[in-house]
Amino acid sequence: MDQIADLLTRIKNTSMAGRYEINISHSKVKEAILTILKNEGFITTIEMKEEEGKKSIIAVISQSKTPSHLKQLSKPGRRVYVKNQEIPAPLRGLGTVIVSTSTGIVTGKIAKKSGLGGELICEVW
């Protein structure tokens, strides 16, 4: 199962339904993506919970800046890798691209500044 696609679908469906709280299973990749979305203002709070030995993440979507477009760029069947000069800027820089680099999962702007390329994970605006 593709955990990134599941995360993005849950965020999209929750915001479309007019709800704001998401409860998802924990992984380091999901936590890193949600942290970036929080820094960009799409998510207000992130909480880690552990019940009966299973970790979960509870995230609250921002009511003022809800993501209207979430698209997974790299999929398990087709990975998309780019050099730092080729990192896209969606909506002419108003959107956010999340990139997995050798130093971790960061936004496209940070990857360009650091001179790092990597795997494109998703784009959000």
What 3-state class would DSSP assign to 113?
helix
At 70-110, the pLDDT tens digits run 999 999 999 999 999 999 999 999 999 999 999 999 999 99
- Locate the domains of the chain by residue range: 3-61, 70-124
Residue 103: what pLDDT?
A: 97
What pairing do the DSSP bridges indicate for beta strands 43-51 and 104-107?
Answer: unpaired
CATH class of 70-124: alpha beta
Tokens 């207000």, residue located: 44
116 Cβ contact list (under 8 Å, min separation 6): 84, 99, 101, 102, 103, 106
Q: Does domain 3-61 fall into CATH 3.30.1370.30?
A: yes
Q: What is the pTM of this model?
A: 0.95
45 Cβ contact list (under 8 Å, min separation 6): 38, 59, 60
List Cα–Cα distances, 60 to 34, 57, 67, 80, 94, in angstroms: 10, 10, 12, 29, 22
DSSP 107: E
Residue 1: what pLDDT?
A: 85
Band of pLDDT at residue 10, cut at 50, 70 and 90? very high
Residue 39: what pLDDT?
A: 98
Give yes or no for residue 11 having a pLDDT over 90: yes
Q: Identify how many contiguous H helices and E strands the chain contains and give both numbers.
A: 3, 8
At 17-67, the pLDDT tens digits run 999 999 999 999 999 999 999 999 999 999 999 999 999 999 999 999 999
Residue 105: what pLDDT?
A: 98
Residue 77: what pLDDT?
A: 95
If we measure between CA atoms, which residue out of 57, 54, 55, 46 comes closest to residue 23?
57
